Structure 1
Amino acid sequence: MAAVTRGSFTALRRLLTQQYRRRCFRPHGFRSERPLLLLSNNRCLQTLQCRTLHTTMVSRGPVVQFKLSDIGEGIMEVTVKEWYVKEGDRVSQFDSICEVQSDKASVTITSRYDGVIKKLYYDVDATALVGKPLVDIETESNSEVIQEEDVVETPAMAREEHTHQEIKGHKTQATPAVRRLAMENNIKLSEVVGTGKDGRILKEDILNFLAKQTGAILPPTPVHEIHTPGPAQVSAAARLASTSVAIKAPPTTTARAIFTGKDITEPLTGFHKAMVKTMTAALKIPHFGYCDEVDLSRLVTLREELKPAAGHRGVKLSYMPFFIKAVSLGLLHYPILNASMDEGCQNITYKASHNIGVAMDTSQGLLVPNLKNVQLLSVFDIALELNRLQVLGSKGQLGTSDLTGGTFTLSNIGSVSPLQTHLFM
């Protein structure tokens, strides 16, 4: 009898164990409320509750193209200076994404969405276009996709808080620069009437609104400061007026001159046309002025010592050859001064040759022939070449090779202003 009981007990325990395993490892979401009964050796009943494995799936939303918004001032493109995120990073609203730089200021771009960065459209130092995608963000399904303008946070906006909030549900069209101006002057954009396209608020609208609020009103003149003239003052003023009328001389009539000149129009030709083209091109580059004084006592002594040797070579040695050679030595130390940029301002070319031009006043006008490869010439060679150009210039025989290919220019105006020599790059 005991043997049968032990065998039945063993079979029952094996059966209950199999049922326990099947119920514990079942598909997600199925949960049995029926308890399992297990017989122990001491014939006591224990109630066991089946456990189930639980996993949470994060639901993703749509992938949104985060576009670079208009940052104001008519800027159409910017340079990406630094990325604060990379692909796969999680971002929240108002988190910094990257820093871009225009030709006027640096701007920090912040996120409008909660999600994961899926794609970066630009590398560092690449040019990003306004209105084009900047990054792709995979938004979360429980986050609201806000279809508005991208948030552009300037350094000043990052340090200050908005003191006013716009009317909820009303979208005010204004550039970040206009919003910043309104914020600095504590002006609600909802109170400003926009005069731009589609009601866009312009900078002038903010200034006009501010002028109306802070318009200066002249205070009234105090009563005690108002003086009424007495009888004596009135009589004196009347006598003075009558005297001035009596001594007033009658106007004299003069014959009007008749101008018979006529405008004369003639076409630009030759050097005059080239001068206009050159001067117009010169205005396209930045200009700056600098004046300094240098002690040339040792140069004066050196020139006097070299004059006899120059005379034997038939060369007139002035101070200009020394200045030209000094410029060439300076260009060796600072090659950026002997460089040029292409029309698109995308590449810079460092010139190997020092073709230094010298402005000359000739019968044909102001011409700028240049001395080729000054870096290879001595002071005597420079003086000899300079004399040759001066002779050809006085005769009007300067060739195309003499007038083209210059990389740096000197203009000696010592006869007008002895303390300056103009440099043109």
Structure 2
Amino acid sequence: MVVYADLHQQIVLSLSDNVTVLFCPAVNQGPIVQFKLSDIGEGIMEVTVKEWYVKEGDKVSQFDSICEVQSDKASVTITSRYDGVIKKLYYDVDATAFVGKPLVDIETESGSGETSEEDVVETPAMAQEEHTHQEIKGHKTQATPAVRRLAIENNIKLSEVVGTGKDGRILKEDILNFLAKQTGAILPPAAVKPPPATPKPVFTGKDVTEPLKGVQKAMVKTMTVALKIPHFGYCDEVDLSRLVALRSELKPLAESRGVRLSYMPFFIKAASLGLHHFPILNASVDEDCQNITYKASHNIGLAMDTSQGLLVPNVKNVQLLSVLEIALELNRLQVLGASGQLGTADLMGGTFTLSNIGSIGGTYAKPVILPPEVAIGALGKIQVLPRFDAAGQVVPAHIMKVSWSADHRIIDGATMCRFSNLWREYLENPASMVLDLK
């Protein structure tokens, strides 16, 4: 008996009377498609391959995650448009991939749909727009690859989560709320896993040169433009003693609703209330500084220290959100930032920024404006310091320093000072915010 085999068929030939002849017909395979990196937007022409979710020989279905790439603005998950088998990966991890060039070859299945060289780009911010189906216990559960990955990372079965999106689609918020019910609070992965011990420095005696990539490369571009802006600074201190007491009362209530409540939602909301009175701080100017645009939405950014470097996601439409809603959105951004999954939509469109340097240490800073914005604030750590009360007695007070920077081409010191005073009043008397909430 002689056996001949190839990729598609196996043939058994009969060479004598006691050998049976068998023939296995070839499996009907479709064409091999070069799966190219399509235009991600924002003028991005190259990305770094961060992680492959498939390997050669793996079977994939439509909307399955293929890889994660890092541009100079955000992480993006690339998903499949076809049912088929991965035949070739064109890049190694940490290699640079270019728009319009192949990422993988996919041998498509017959009847899987029309072939196209364009890939599907899915970012965490698009999770409510695109979906895929996952067969669980006889019914289809709708969730994006990013949502499924978040569920896997937290050992959550999608079949146990109630989807609140259209047609029962499971959203990231549903995963976070489910997690909160299990743990009592939403914690980013970095808070669950202790940070690795700081490695001891290794002195090799050799210079090392490597190219700037991803977020570092983006910082070069952004800061080069930013420091062409004539900055001026203004500093003050805020007595947060009443806010500290108020947060202590509200924190258990927020946790019962699945929200981790920090001080930052109060800082952000107070800034938004102040921007209503000083809209020029929520504006942008064109490149030649000939026109100014007053932004209707308060998209307030939070400078975030992540494993990828400095990223500044923003909370959209703060003027329409409650403190609790802001806290919920911050929880979502912190989870995505800690896992390197912040999407382009989370990072773009900011109108005003706060940088919480106090979470690491330090009291004062000289923050750099993030173009095209015109103002930024840096918040120092909260310290218990001696201060005099109204009766002249020395009392302990929770003091935080704040450092503002503004674009001196269109903003004068008096405007920045008045805004800071109003922002400080809201925080020193947090009950006063109730009067201006909408």
TM-score normalised by the shorter chain: which range applies? 0.3 to 0.5
Based on CA coordinates, which of the two structures has the bigger radius of gyration? 1
- If asked which structure has higher relative contact order (CA below 8 Å, sep 6+), I would say 2
Q: Which has the higher strand share?
A: 2
TM-score normalized with structure 1 length: 0.38
